[in-house]
Homo-oligomer: A and B are copies of this chain.
Amino acid sequence: MPVTIKDIAKQARVSHSTVSRALHGSSLISDLTAERIRQTARELGYLPSAAARTLKTNHSQALGVLIRKVDDPFFGDILQGIEEVAQASGYSLFMAASQHTPEREQAILQAMVERRVEGIIICSTPVSLDQSRQLARFGVPIVYINNQAAEEYRYSIYHDDVDGSRQVTRHLIGLGHRRIGYLGNSTAGRSTLDRLSGFQQELKASGLSIPETYIHQVPGGGPDEGLSGLSHFLDLPERPTALICYNDMLAIGVLKGLKQAGIRVPQELSVTGFDNILFSAYTNPPLTTFDQPKQYIGAEAARLVLGLLKADSLGNAPCEPEIRRLRGKLLVRDTTAAPAL
């Protein structure tokens, strides 16, 4: 139904090869006919078939993006970064969400390979290693973002959570806190471990030690889990004076719980988040958090994939594994202060 180069050829009384060349600006075609052909193409409203081109050139100009859940505000920024770079390079994005179910994930990756995407970016979702190997067999380069066990994959981009967590902890210690709690998300894999580890490293570096009960994990990373996680700390005989949350969403839940309990922030308890999602600036009081450069991480991931493709098309040997660790910065707002005496 749509217009093809054959239609243009007929209209312009040339062969379809000439049309193809003219539209690509080949120097083989005289300027006169080339312009005439382009004109008719415009008149007929011609748009080339990506399918045919992909089939012929083995080049789909598309990337696949696999995320865990679309409505997580964290991914919004990452996607934004990916999109920006991809669009600038003329690549389209296939996007799908695994919704935490391995079968879906399997189906999505398969669909992407069938579409012959040239690269895949996998966000924070725990792809099994043999599945990852299976993908590698198709020769599709894969870049992992903030993945668990990022180091085990050839190409990953991730945020230096250890460093970030150390900075947050140092900030609190600097304010004079000695009893600091950590509220983690047990379902988060690497990132919660890294953040916990940074926390512990910084404590040790400062010669501090805390009771076991000051480390508590909840099964999730939403406000509701923050709310329930808070009660653990409130029930302790000796409460911490500061609470480090795995992410902003947990912290937001914590703030809500503290409000309900009538505990003042930061006077009675300091609270920190992590990620710097949009809303962390609008909590009450505004949340002290760690600004993970989300958009930049997405952009870097896209650049990395595109770089791999370029190297590939130049016939270069596959790049050596590249694992890039990006750093963010501490954002001190109003939920942290020196502890009460």
* Distance (whole angstroms) from the CB of A272 to the closest CB of chain B: 16
| CB pair A256 B278 closer than 8 Å | no
Choose, from A51-59, A147-155, A200-208, the stretch at the interface.
A51-59
Supposing A93-B96, A223-B281, A284-B283 touch, asked if A70 and B80 sit within 8 A by C-beta, the answer is yes
Q: What separation, in Å, do the CA atoms of A54 and B56 have in the docked complex? A: 13
Pairs of residues from A and B, 6 with the lowest C-beta to C-beta distance, nearest first: A71-B76, A284-B284, A51-B54, A51-B55, A70-B80, A50-B115
* Distance (whole angstroms) from the CB of A93 to the closest CB of chain B: 6
Q: Is A253 an interface residue (CB 8 A)?
A: yes
| CB pair A55 B52 closer than 8 Å | yes
Q: What separation, in Å, do the CA atoms of A69 and B76 have in the docked complex? A: 9
* Distance (whole angstroms) from the CB of A223 to the closest CB of chain B: 5
Cβ-defined partner of A48 (8 Å) among B104, B114, B283: B114
Interfacial chain B residues near A89, Cβ < 8 Å: none
* Distance (whole angstroms) from the CB of A22 to the closest CB of chain B: 18
Q: Is A94 an interface residue (CB 8 A)?
A: yes
Q: Is A24 an interface residue (CB 8 A)?
A: no
Q: Is A110 an interface residue (CB 8 A)?
A: yes
| CB pair A259 B284 closer than 8 Å | yes
Per-residue CB contact flags for chain A residues 312-334 toward chain B (1 = under 8 Å, else 0) read 00000000000000000000000
Query: Which residue of chain B lies nearest to A72 when distances are taken between CB atoms in the complex?
Result: B76
* Distance (whole angstroms) from the CB of A27 to the closest CB of chain B: 25
Interfacial chain B residues near A93, Cβ < 8 Å: 94-96
Q: What separation, in Å, do the CA atoms of A1 and B93 have in the docked complex? A: 22
| CB pair A116 B49 closer than 8 Å | yes
Q: Which of A280-299 contact B (CB under 8 A)?
A: 281-284, 286, 295
Q: How many residues of A contact B (CB 8 A)?
A: 60
Q: What separation, in Å, do the CA atoms of A64 and B120 have in the docked complex? A: 19
Q: Is A218 an interface residue (CB 8 A)?
A: no
In the complex, 22 of the A-B residue pairs with CB atoms within 8 angstroms, ordered by the A residue number, are A2-B138, A45-B138, A50-B111, A50-B114, A51-B52, A51-B54, A71-B77, A71-B278, A71-B295, A83-B96, A87-B96, A87-B108, A92-B96, A93-B94, A93-B96, A94-B95, A223-B281, A223-B282, A252-B282, A255-B282, A255-B284, A256-B286
Q: Is A307 an interface residue (CB 8 A)?
A: no
Q: Which of A206-259 contact B (CB under 8 A)?
A: 223, 252-253, 255-256, 259
Per-residue CB contact flags for chain A residues 25-55 toward chain B (1 = under 8 Å, else 0) read 0000000000000000000010111111011
Q: Is A97 an interface residue (CB 8 A)?
A: yes
